[in-house]
Structure formats: C-alpha cells, structure tokens
C-alpha cells in the first residue's frame, strides 16, 4: 500500500470496510464487553493477544472500535503505538505513572494546563514522592539547569494555556537526550499543526476532548509513542494497572470527529488570525497573545515548529473584572464556557473560570489578570464573530458610562 498523507489518514486509517462480511464503510461501534472464543485454548496468553489479527477477549484489554481509533491516532501523530484513555487527564497521569517511580524527578513547564499542574503537584510530588520542578521552558537552558541525575520525565505543553507561550521542542529534545523521557501535550495544536515526535519528543499526549474530537461532545485522551518499551508500560497501565480506556461509543465519536480535523483546523486558524488582528487594533485591548501575530515574541519559533498557529488566543482588556463581565455577558455567538477545540466559539475569563483554583498571587505572577480573556475560535462565519466582539466592546462602554453616571 502506498504511504498516505495526513488528510487521507484522518478519514480512512483504521476503517476496515470488509469487517464482519457486511462491508460497513465505517467501523461499527462494538459495544460488547466480552467476545465469544472460537475454541477452548488452555494455553491462551492474555498478554500475547493481537487485536490486529482478531484476538479479542475482553473490552478492557482491547476493543475493535478503540483499536481502530488507536491506529488512526498513531498514524496522525506519526507514531507506532497509540492508547486511548477516558480523558486527557487520565492519559497524562497514566503516562507519567508509566515513566516514574518513587524517588524520581520530573521537570515540567511552569505554564501548564491547571489540571496537569495539579496532578503533578498533588499526586506525584505530594503522594508518590516524585519531586516536580516547574521551569520557564520558553528558554531551553532553564530545562537543562533543572535536570538532575534522577530526572526521568520532562513534560511540556506548547503553546500554553492561556498565554500562548511556546517552548522549542527540538531544542528541549536535545537537552533531554537519552537521560529522560520527553513528552509533549499536543492538545492545543493538534497533530495537524504540530508533530512533536518528528521534532524529537519521545511521546505525545492529547485531550481528545478538544480538537481531535472537535465537537464538544466526548471526553477522552490519548498517548502516542514510537518507543516500544514505553508503549509496553503504558499498555499495562491502560489495560491492567488502572483499567482506564476510552469506551467504544466515545471511540466511535472520536473516529468520526477526527475525519474533519484538517478542514476544521484550517478554518479555526483563518478565523483566529482575523480576530487576533482585529483585537490588536482595538482601543479597548492592551495586549493580544496569538502566535500568528508578528508581535508575538515567539512568532518566529511558531513559524518554524508549527505548520499553523491554531485557533486559541487570549487578550487583555483595558479594564477590570466588571468590564470583562459586561463584555462576556453581552455576547450572542460566543458561548461563555470552559474547554476549547470544538467547532463552536467558546470564550472564558481564566481568572474566574479555568485558572480560578490557582492562588491569586500565582495567577498574578503568571500574568493571568482579572481582565484576561481566552477565546477558542470556532468555525462560524467570521463576520458574525467580529460583530459579536463589537457587541461586547459596546456593552463594556455602556457599563462604564453607567458606572460613571453618564446616563
Ligand atoms: N491538556 C490540555 C492542554 C488541556 O487544555 C486539558 C483540558 O482542558 C487537558 C490536558 C485535560 O484534558 P481532559 O479535560 O480531557 O481531561
């Protein structure tokens, strides 16, 4: 078979039209928890079952729908092995558990998704005796300085949430070398815009809840790697150690959602670029954080390591939390909600929503102010999106005049 390109793999990798002799053009949903065996084989080893050859016994171990999805995700990230979990959080947690043991050390980007930061601090550092050092990984030298002989895992996100900071995957891969496992959370870019394994990472994780599924109707996660030994550990945790895997129905949803990943990502990005430029020119905005803007301090790095700048951006209103509230509550097209990566535009106030659990001092230190707004730009008509933001700014001005007693 000839080697297929990304958009073709997104549509067809893992589909087996001849399955079950009825020629389904898309993989059916196999809901069975257990599978009839053709014969009694007392020597059957559960560890040596090969789902690709039709060896199905029990759905926690392997399931045809999940197996099809895992093949597709591996192909899209350019890896050999993929494992689908019941959330992005469980994917990242299982991956870390597959790598470290008590007494080990982890180096992680300080600007991580809040949930990942919490699991590293509260589960690994506090309970499992795995010390975690958070660094400003925008400079790879800081990663190098934090490495110790007992460092086994280096964990990065790029771009980060919500300030869209980048780290240089190739440079950090060089710093880490063979001393530790280097993993990247590729949720924000999706494999369509960024391929960390090709840039030297050992393993990639996703919250498939976001762009990969793309329709805000399934929670899931995935880990993808080329490393056979690491894959064996992850497989053990997914199927035996934790028994945490993506159920068949969600596997089907993600198989279906990911087919349109390339077209969605192109539209997300096109809309995000227009909105970023619109906000950059607006008098009521003091800062815009989007790697596609030339004003982004790491625009050059973004152009080198990403093939597109993605659909997430954040901006600083020239105002306070009550201005932000007036702005957000007046919107008609954007939905005020956490999460990201769906076809619909979502908007949120990190200080009061996604990043509210952080201490106010920590938020301030990280630049997450009370007037910082994050947008996950959807694929709607761009004119409706811009008109909606106009509405938000008008509401903010009306609120200000009311407070000042102008009307
Ligand atoms: N990684 C990133 C970058 C995220 O934004 C999120 C969730 O927002 C997660 C991981 C966790 O994923 P999930 O909510 O599917 O557990």
Residue 332's pLDDT is: 98
**C-alpha 350 to ligand 1 mean position (Å):** 14
In the CATH hierarchy, which top-level class contains the domain 6-258? alpha beta
Q: Does residue 161 have its Cβ closer than 6 Å to ligand 1?
A: yes
Among this protein's residues, is 325 annotated catalytic? Answer: no
Residue 20's pLDDT is: 63
Cβ pair 396, 317 in contact under 8 A: yes
Cβ pair 99, 73 in contact under 8 A: no
Q: Does residue 185 have its Cβ closer than 6 Å to ligand 1?
A: yes
Q: Which of 84, 187, 205 to mutate to test the pocket of ligand 1 (most atoms within 8 A of CB)?
A: 187
**C-alpha 210 to ligand 1 mean position (Å):** 8
> What is the pTM (predicted TM-score) of this model?
0.96
Q: Which of 113, 159, 311, 341 to mutate to test the pocket of ligand 1 (most atoms within 8 A of CB)?
A: 113
Please report which confidence band the pLDDT of residue 357 belongs to, taking 50, 70 and 90 as the band edges: confident
- Map residue 221 onto helix, strand or coil: strand
**pLDDT, average across residues 158-163:** 94
Measured from the CA of 89, which atom of ligand 1 is nearest?
A: 16
Among this protein's residues, is 60 annotated catalytic? Answer: yes
Rg (C-alpha) for the chain, rounded Å, is 22
Residue 2's pLDDT is: 85
Q: Quick: pLDDT tens for 174-228.
A: 999 999 999 999 999 999 999 999 999 999 999 999 999 999 999 999 999 999 9
Pick the more confident residue, 41 or 242: 242
Percent share of the chain, pLDDT over 70:
99
**C-alpha 32 to ligand 1 mean position (Å):** 28
pLDDT, mean over the chain: 95
Catalytic residue among 66, 72, 117, 210: 210
**C-alpha 207 to ligand 1 mean position (Å):** 5
- Map residue 93 onto helix, strand or coil: helix
Q: Quick: pLDDT tens for 87-107.
A: 999 999 999 999 999 999 999
Residue 25's pLDDT is: 85
Separation of alpha carbons 298 and 292, rounded Å:
9
Separation of alpha carbons 288 and 285, rounded Å:
8
**Whose Cα sits closest to atom 5 in ligand 1?**
113
**C-alpha 223 to ligand 1 mean position (Å):** 13
Please report which confidence band the pLDDT of residue 407 belongs to, taking 50, 70 and 90 as the band edges: low
Cβ pair 347, 281 in contact under 8 A: no
Q: Quick: pLDDT tens for 16-60.
A: 765 567 888 888 899 999 999 988 888 888 878 888 888 899 999
**C-alpha 113 to ligand 1 mean position (Å):** 7
Residue with tokens 């199905």: 56
Q: Give the CATH architecture of domain 261-406.
A: Alpha-Beta Complex (3.90)
Q: Quick: pLDDT tens for 245-278.
A: 999 999 999 999 999 999 999 999 999 999 999 9
| Token pair belonging to 157 | 């996100």
Cβ pair 228, 235 in contact under 8 A: no
Among this protein's residues, is 4 annotated catalytic? Answer: no
Residue 17's pLDDT is: 60
Measured from the CA of 91, which atom of ligand 1 is nearest?
A: 16
**pLDDT, average across residues 131-147:** 98
Residue 23's pLDDT is: 82
Q: Does residue 219 have its Cβ closer than 6 Å to ligand 1?
A: yes
- Above 60 in pLDDT, residue 406? yes
Q: Quick: pLDDT tens for 316-340.
A: 999 999 999 999 999 999 999 999 9
Among this protein's residues, is 210 annotated catalytic? Answer: yes
Q: Which of 209, 312, 356 to mutate to test the pocket of ligand 1 (most atoms within 8 A of CB)?
A: 209
Contacts of 84 (CB under 8 A, 6+ apart): 66, 69, 70, 73, 208, 220, 221, 222, 245, 246, 251, 254
- Above 90 in pLDDT, residue 124? yes
Contacts of 127 (CB under 8 A, 6+ apart): none
Q: Which of 86, 88, 92, 342 to mutate to test the pocket of ligand 1 (most atoms within 8 A of CB)?
A: 88
Measured from the CA of 208, which atom of ligand 1 is nearest?
A: 15
**pLDDT, average across residues 6-22:** 83
Residue 362's pLDDT is: 85
Domain borders along the chain are 6-258, 261-406
**Whose Cα sits closest to atom 14 in ligand 1?**
88
């Amino acid at each position: 078979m000839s080697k297929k390109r990304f958009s073709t793999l997104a549509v067809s990798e893992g589909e087996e039209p001849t399955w079950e002799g009825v020629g389904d053009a898309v993989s059916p949903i196999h809901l069975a928890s257990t599978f009839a065996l053709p014969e009694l084989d007392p020597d059957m080893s559960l560890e040596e079952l090969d789902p690709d050859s039709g060896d199905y016994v029990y759905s926690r171990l392997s399931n045809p729908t999940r197996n099809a999805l895992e093949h597709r995700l591996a192909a899209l990230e350019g890896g050999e092995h993929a494992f689908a979990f019941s959330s992005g959080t469980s994917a990242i947690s299982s991956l870390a558990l597959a790598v470290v043991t008590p007494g080990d050390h982890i180096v992680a980007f300080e600007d991580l998704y809040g949930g990942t930061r919490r699991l590293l601090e509260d589960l690994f550092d506090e309970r499992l005796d795995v010390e975690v050092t958070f660094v400003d990984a925008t400079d790879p030298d800081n990663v190098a300085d934090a490495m110790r002989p007992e460092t086994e895992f280096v964990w990065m996100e790029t771009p980060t949430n919500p300030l869209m900071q980048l780290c240089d995957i190739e440079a950090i891969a060089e710093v880490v070398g063979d001393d530790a496992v280097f993993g990247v959370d590729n949720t924000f870019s999706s494999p369509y815009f960024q391929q960390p394994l090709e840039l030297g990472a050992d393993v990639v994780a996703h919250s498939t809840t976001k762009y990969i599924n793309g329709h805000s109707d399934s929670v899931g996660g995935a880990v993808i790697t080329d490393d056979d030994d690491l894959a064996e550990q992850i497989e053990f945790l997914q199927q035996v150690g934790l028994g945490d895997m993506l159920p068949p129905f969600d596997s089907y949803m993600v198989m279906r959602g990911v087919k349109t990943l390339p077209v969605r990502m192109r539209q997300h990005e096109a809309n995000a670029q227009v909105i970023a430029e619109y906000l950059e020119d607006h008098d009521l905005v003091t800062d815009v954080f989007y790697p596609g803007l030339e004003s982004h301090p790491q625009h050059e790095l973004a152009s080198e390591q990403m093939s597109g700048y993605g659909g997430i951006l954040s901006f600083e209103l020239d105002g306070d939390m009550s201005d932000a509230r007036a702005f957000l509550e007046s919107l008609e097209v954007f939905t005020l909600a956490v999460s990201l990566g769906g076809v619909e535009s979502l908007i949120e106030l990190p200080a009061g929503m996604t990043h509210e659990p952080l201490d106010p001092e920590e938020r301030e230190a990280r630049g997450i102010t009370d007037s910082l707004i994050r947008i996950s730009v959807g694929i709607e008509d761009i004119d409706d999106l811009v008109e909606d933001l106009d509405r938000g700014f008008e509401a903010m001005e009306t609120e200000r005049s009311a407070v000042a007693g102008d009307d």
